[in-house]
Amino acid sequence: MVEISPGELLLELSGVTAGYGAGLILKGVNLTATRGEIICLIGPNGAGKSTVLKTVSGLLQPQSGTVTFAGEDISRMSSRDRLARGIVHVPQDRSLFPAMTVWENVMMGAFILKDQALVRRRLDEVAALFPIVAKRRSSAAGSLSGGEQKQVELARSLMLDPALILLDEPSIGLDPRSRTSVFASISTLANDGRTVLLVEQNARSGLAVAHQAAVLEAGVVALTGTGEALLTDPEVARLYLGASAAGPAETLAKVV
């Protein structure tokens, strides 16, 4: 894993364009994230939020521009090499292996590790943070509720002790209580100096946990600021928070 001191620049996207076939989805994205911060990406459907995550994890190669991670240009690197450098991607769709046990699922998070003693140690640490791992250890992952499955996915993402976690819509399809616990867990993930790049449809909750935030519109970053600043920005409120009159205090209260 890459060692970086706190506050240091960890991830930088510079002029990234990417897409499928002829159509470009990202049209020159500039974005930075420092170590230990949660950065939330909001924006309308089709703006390219998930695509940003894919260019960072390597599921999609940028057509131009660079992705720099810990000072290294990783734009052309394979997903697996990026994984080995500590970039973990938790996709939007259910990503557990439904017929495998919770324990096996979490173990798969350490698939690229050879050191079995290290894997066991990590497993203990992860189980301490996410009680569900020990509690439902031998249950088939598919038998868990949506909220529980998300907790296991988050637990699994920690097995590599990553420097950067990419979370794509972690609260989608969850009931309000599970949603609350997912956002609580996101803060847990960002402990120990990890950076979390979060894409969230539920902009209000996303911004509330984020240190930094960016609005993506039509493939470019239209606005950046602290999570709090965007939460109280009237324009952002009108477009993405579905409220106009709500003051900041009220807004925050609704989140919890």
Partner 1 sequence: MHALIQAIILGILTGGVYALMASGQTLIFGVMKVVNLAQGALVVLGAYLTYSLFTSLGIDPFLSILITTPILFAVGVGVQWVLLRPLHGDDIGQLSLLVTFAVALGLEGALSFVYGATLTNVQPTYANFSWTVLGYQISLVRLVAFVLSLVMLGVLYLILQRTKFGRSVRATVQNPMSAQLLGVNSQRVSALGFGLGAATAAAAGSVFGMLNSFNPGSHYDLISRLLTIVVLGGLGSIGGSVVAALVMGVGSSVVSALASPIWSDFTFFIVLLLVLLIRPRGLFGAKTRGSL
User: Interface residues with partner 1 (CB under 8 A)?
Assistant: 57, 59, 79-80, 83-84, 89, 91, 93, 95-100, 104, 107-109, 111-112, 156
25: phi then psi, degrees, rounded to nearest 5: -100, -45
Shortest distance in whole angstroms from residue 239 CB to partner 1: 31
Structure tokens at 246: 């709500």
Nearest alpha-carbon partner for 108 in 155, 144, 145, 170: 155
Alpha helices of the chain — where are they, by DSSP H?
49-57, 79-84, 102-108, 116-129, 131-135, 146-157, 176-189, 203-209, 227-232, 234-236, 248-255
**Which amino acid appears at position 239 of this protein?**
L
Four-residue CA torsion sign, 155, 159, 162, 167: negative
Closer CB to partner 1, residue 157 or residue 185? Answer: 157
Closer CB to partner 1, residue 84 or residue 229? Answer: 84
Shortest distance in whole angstroms from residue 111 CB to partner 1: 5
20: phi then psi, degrees, rounded to nearest 5: -115, 130
Shortest distance in whole angstroms from residue 51 CB to partner 1: 15
Shortest distance in whole angstroms from residue 22 CB to partner 1: 18
Euclidean distance between CA atoms 85 and 164, whole angstroms: 9
Residue 71 CB partners (closer than 8 Å, separation 6+):
none
Shortest distance in whole angstroms from residue 137 CB to partner 1: 15
Closer CB to partner 1, residue 159 or residue 213? Answer: 159
Closer CB to partner 1, residue 79 or residue 226? Answer: 79
Q: At what angle do helices 116-129 and 146-157 cross, to 10 degrees?
A: 140
Closer CB to partner 1, residue 2 or residue 222? Answer: 2
Shortest distance in whole angstroms from residue 95 CB to partner 1: 4
Closer CB to partner 1, residue 88 or residue 207? Answer: 88
